[in-house]
Amino acid sequence: MNTPAKPQLIIIGNGMVGHHLVEQLIEQGATERYTITVFGEERHRAYDRVHLSEYFTGRDADSLALSDADWYAANGVELRLQEAVTAIDRDASEVVTDQGRYGYQRLVLATGSYPFVPPMPGSDRPGCLVYRTLDDLDAIREAAESASTGVVVGGGLLGLEAANALRGLELDTAVVEFAPRLMPMQVDSEGGELLRDKIEALGVQVHTDRATQRIEDGVDAVHRMVFQDDKVLETDLIVFSAGIRPRDELARDCALEMGERGGVVIDNQCLTSDPAVLAIGEVALWNNSIFGLVAPGYQMAKVAAATLLEGGESFRGADMSTKLKLLGVDVGAIGDAHGDRTPGAKMFRYLDQIKQQYRKLVVSSDGRRLVGAMLVGDNSVYDTLMQYYSNGLDLPEDPAALILPSSEGAPTLGPDALPETATICSCHNVSKGDICATLDAGATDLAAVKGSTRASTGCGGCAALLKSVVDHELEARGVEVDRSICEHFAHTRQALYDIVRVEGIKTFGALIEKHGNVDTHRLGCDICKPAVASILASCFNEPITDAAHIPLQDTNDTFMANMQKNGTYSVVPRVPGGEITPDKLIVLGRVAETYGLYTKITGGQRIDLFGARLEDLPDIWSELLDAGFETGHAYAKSLRTVKSCVGSTWCRYGVQDSVGMAIRLEERYKGLRSPHKLKFGVSGCTRECAEAQGKDIGVIATENGWNLYVCGNGGMRPRHAELFATDLDDERLIQLIDRLLMFYVRTADRLQRTSVWRENLEGGLDYLKEVVIDDSLSIGTELESQMQTVIDNYRCEWADALNDPEKLKRFRSFVNDSRPDPDIVVTEERGQLRPA
C-alpha cells in the first residue's frame, strides 16, 4: 500500500522571520505533516540582521547565521539558496523560479522589505548604495576603500546604523534627513536636538530639513548632492537608508488583496485573501499597519505555524517599543511616546543638557497609567518603564520619580511585583506566566527555561530580567538556586573570598585542593581561575606575575598589556589625576617614535600607546619606568583612572583642589584588584567637568568639602552615580571610600559592576549607607584595615617583572624562535601606524 504524499509547504524568504517560522514548524512536528521547501534569493542562509553592523567589526556570515549549515537538512527541510521566486501561479498552485516550477498546497510569503531609494536624478550612479544585506555591506566596504567621505540619506534607525558603519570604515560621515529632526518616529523635538548634539559630538555631520533634488558629478569629490534650497554637499560615497517598502511584487502580480500603499493584507491568522497563502513579517499588512521590527515578525511566524497546523493562535498587533544604541547613543521609545494618540495625556519631562540626557513620561489623563515614554542618552530606566506600560501597573504617587536622575526613593519593580502576564522576552513573546509554567513542569535552572521558552535567545536585551525572574521563582518554590561560581567550586565568589581571607589561603592550588571539586579538573577553568586570581590579589596584593599566580591570568594580565585585534599590545602608563610634566610627555613621544606606536588620549586622561610587539614590551617599559612612570593597570580588573578637572588651582569656578584630591585617590587605590574595573572622577565644583556622576566613585567639591557619589558607570548600560554623603572633609571622604570599595570587593559577584552590585543589595542604597557610614555591621575598622593591607603591599607589576629574568622569558612571540611575529602588518594613516 502506497503512503500518500505529504502536502507541499513552500516558504518564500529566508530572513529572520522566515527562519523563525521554520523553527516553529520543526518544534511543533510539522515535518511529519508537510514537505517543506524554503526559497532564499541571497547566497547566505538566514542571518541576524539586528546585529548586521557587526559585520564591519569582525563578524562574518557564519557567525551571524541563525543556524548551522546542515540544520535545515538535518530537520527534513529543503533550503534552496540563490533561487529567487519570480512568480506565483495561483491557478496552478505553483511558484516559478529560473530553475523550474514547484507545486504547493500551502504557501507562506516571508519576503520582507527592500530599502527605499527616493526617486531623483542620479540616485543610480556608481557609488550610490543601500544598507540592507550582507552583499550590500560588502559593496559598501569595497567602495569605502577608495573614498574618504560618505553620506547616509535617512536619519532614522537604519540610517544611523549605516552612519555608524561608515564611521567605522574611517570615512568622514554625514547624515541627511528630510524631517526636521533625527529619528522623527521615535523622538520629539527636544529629544531630536539632544540626539543631534550627541551624534555631532562624535564627528558625524547632521543635516536635517534637507530634501535631495538630484545627484551629479562633484568638483572636490565623486558626487554632489543638490538640495531643495540649492545648497550642496559633496561626498565620495552615498548610502540610502531612507526607510523600507514591503517586497510585495509577487503578491501584487498574482492578484492577492493589497493595501493602498503596499503590503499584503492578512487577517488575525496571517491568512491572505487566498486561504492557501499566508504572509508574515514586513511584507504583511495587518489592520492597515506594517511592522518593521523583528519581534512582531516572530509573533506572526508563531501564529502562521499554528494556522498551518490548525491551531488557534491569533495575531493581535504588536507593541513597537524599542530600546536602541545608535552610534553609542541610547535611544528608547515606549508606547505612545509622543502622546498624540492618547486623549488628555499628561507629560513629565527631564532634560540635562550637561550630561546630555532626556527623559519623557506620557501618562493617562488621570495620572494612573503609563501610556508612553521617550529616552535619549540613557536607557537605564527603560526596563522598569516598559513593565509599567506593558502590564498596566498603577504608577507611583509621584510618577516623575521614575525619570529623575537620582533613584534614591524611586519606585523599583522586583520580580515579585510583576503580574503573570508581564512580558519578559518580547522577541519570543514569553511572559512571566510562561516562565512559571516551565518551572512548574520541571525546569530547574536558567538554561532549561531558555531552552523551553527561547526567552533571551533573540536580541538578548531581557537576559538580566529573565535571570532575576527565574531565580526569584525558583526560590519561591523552595528550590535552592545554585550560585556556584563554576563546576570546580560549589561556592559563590563571596564565599570564596571569605574562605581565602579567613584561612589565609594564598594559591589557587591550595584553594581547589581544600575547597574545590578536584574530581572535575584540578586546573580549574576560565571562570574560576581569573576570579580566584582577583580574590587573591584583593586580599594579599602579591605580584600577579609570580609563578603561582601566572597560570590564573588571562592574556592581558599575563603580559600586563591589552592585546589588540592584530596581535599587538597597548601600553598605558599611569598618569595620576591626568597631571603630567612636559618631561614625561617628551618621554612618551620618544618611546612612541622609537617603537612605531600609535598614540591617543584616552577618555580617562591618559595617553595610550598602541601597536607594541610582545617582545618589545620589556624594553618599552624599561624606558618608561626610568622616566618615573609605572603601570596603569589598563589590562586589569582594578582601578583604571581618576579623572579630574583643573579645580581651584586654575579655574575661576573651582572651590577645591580637585587635581590634588584625584592624585591622592589614584595613588592610594592603584593596584586594587576588584570584581570589575573601577573608574573615579573628581570635580572641583558643581559644574562637573570631570563627569564624576558617571563613575564608580564620584567626588564633587562644595564650599564645605566634598560630596561623594557612588556606583555609577558608563559602558553598554550607563548608570548615574548616587549621592552617598555630603560636605565631607578629606579624611572622612577617604575613610568612606576605603570602606565602600572593600565591602564591594568582599561581597560582589565576579565581573559585577558596582552599579549592578548596589542594585542587588537587599535594602539598596540605604543599606549601603548603614554599613559604610553608620557601621551597622561593626566591620568598618576591619574594612579599613584590609584596604591598608592592599595599599601597603602595592608594587608596580612591570617593575617587578623587569627585575626577574624568568618572568621576562614569556615576552616572545614564539617559544622556539626569537624572531618577531611575521603576521603583524601595519599601514600608515594620518601620520601614524594602524593595523592593516
- Residue 726 DSSP SS3: strand
What confidence tier does 429 reach under pLDDT thresholds 50, 70, 90? confident
Q: Do residues 669 and 633 touch, judged by C-beta distance below 8 A? A: no
499: how many CB neighbours lie within 10 A of its CB?
A: 17
Given this model, what pLDDT does residue 4 score?
67
More confident residue, 483 or 160: 160
Tell me what the mean pLDDT of segment 600-606 comes to.
83
What confidence tier does 411 reach under pLDDT thresholds 50, 70, 90? low
| Residue among 193, 186, 187, 195 nearest 163 (CA) | 195
Cell numbers that stand for 212 in this block: 535631495
Q: Which amino acid is at 482?
A: D
Return all residues near 335 (Cβ < 8 A) that are at least 6 apart: 319, 321, 362, 370, 371, 372, 373, 389
CA atoms within 13 A on the CB side of 824: 20
Given this model, what pLDDT does residue 672 score?
93
Separation of alpha carbons 216 and 120, rounded Å: 11
pLDDT in tens, 545-586: 888 888 888 778 888 888 887 778 889 999 998 889 999 999
Q: Do residues 265 and 273 touch, judged by C-beta distance below 8 A? A: yes
Say yes or no to pLDDT of 397 above 70: yes
685 appears as a binding residue in the annotation: yes
pLDDT in tens, 499-525: 998 888 999 888 988 888 766 556 677
Separation of alpha carbons 37 and 608, rounded Å: 54
Radius of gyration of the chain (CA): 29
Length of the chain: 836
Average pLDDT of the chain, as a whole number: 88
Residue range 8-114+246-308, CATH number = 3.50.50.60
More confident residue, 461 or 670: 670
528 appears as a binding residue in the annotation: no
pLDDT in tens, 224-252: 999 998 899 999 999 999 888 999 999 99
Given this model, what pLDDT does residue 448 score?
80
What confidence tier does 295 reach under pLDDT thresholds 50, 70, 90? confident
Q: What angle do CA 277, 282, 285 make, to 5 degrees?
A: 60
Among 382-386, 593-597, 615-619, 662-666, the range scoring the smallest mean pLDDT is 382-386
Tell me what the mean pLDDT of segment 391-403 comes to.
87
Query: Could you tell me where the DSSP H helices lie in 59-123?
Result: 61-64, 71-74
Separation of alpha carbons 440 and 533, rounded Å: 39
pLDDT in tens, 59-113: 788 888 899 889 999 999 999 999 999 999 999 999 999 999 999 999 999 999 9
| Residue among 300, 309, 294 nearest 457 (CA) | 294
Tell me what the mean pLDDT of segment 602-630 comes to.
89
Q: If DSSP states are collapsed to H, E and C, what string results for 473-530?
A: HHHHCCCCCCCCCECCECCCHHHHHHHHHHHCCCCHHHHHHHHCCCCCCCCCCCCHHH
Say yes or no to pLDDT of 197 above 80: yes
| Residue among 478, 495, 477, 474 nearest 486 (CA) | 495
Separation of alpha carbons 657 and 650, rounded Å: 9
Given this model, what pLDDT does residue 617 score?
92
What confidence tier does 825 reach under pLDDT thresholds 50, 70, 90? low
Q: Classify 637-803 by CATH class.
A: alpha beta
Given this model, what pLDDT does residue 407 score?
45
Say yes or no to pLDDT of 414 above 80: no
651 appears as a binding residue in the annotation: yes
Given this model, what pLDDT does residue 287 score?
93
Separation of alpha carbons 508 and 548, rounded Å: 8
What confidence tier does 410 reach under pLDDT thresholds 50, 70, 90? very low
What confidence tier does 409 reach under pLDDT thresholds 50, 70, 90? very low
Cα torsion angle, 683, 688, 693, 694, sign: negative
Say yes or no to pLDDT of 459 above 70: no
Q: Do residues 711 and 721 touch, judged by C-beta distance below 8 A? A: yes
Say yes or no to pLDDT of 55 above 60: yes
What DSSP character marks residue 718? -
Return all residues near 179 (Cβ < 8 A) that are at least 6 apart: 155, 208, 209
What confidence tier does 440 reach under pLDDT thresholds 50, 70, 90? confident
> Are 8-114+246-308 and 128-242 the same fold in CATH?
yes
Return all residues near 334 (Cβ < 8 A) that are at least 6 apart: 321, 370, 372, 373, 374, 382, 385, 386, 389
| Residue among 209, 195, 211, 183 nearest 338 (CA) | 183
What confidence tier does 408 reach under pLDDT thresholds 50, 70, 90? very low
Beta partners for residue 152, in sequence order: 175, 239
What's the CATH architecture for 128-242? 3-Layer(bba) Sandwich (3.50)
Cell numbers that stand for 276 in this block: 492557501
Tell me the domain boundaries of the chain: 8-114+246-308, 128-242, 493-553, 637-803
770, 775, 778, 781: CA torsion to nearest 10? 140
Say yes or no to pLDDT of 716 above 70: no
Strands (E), 271-354: 277-279, 284-286, 322-326, 329-335, 346-352
Separation of alpha carbons 199 and 181, rounded Å: 12
Cα torsion angle, 635, 639, 644, 647, sign: negative
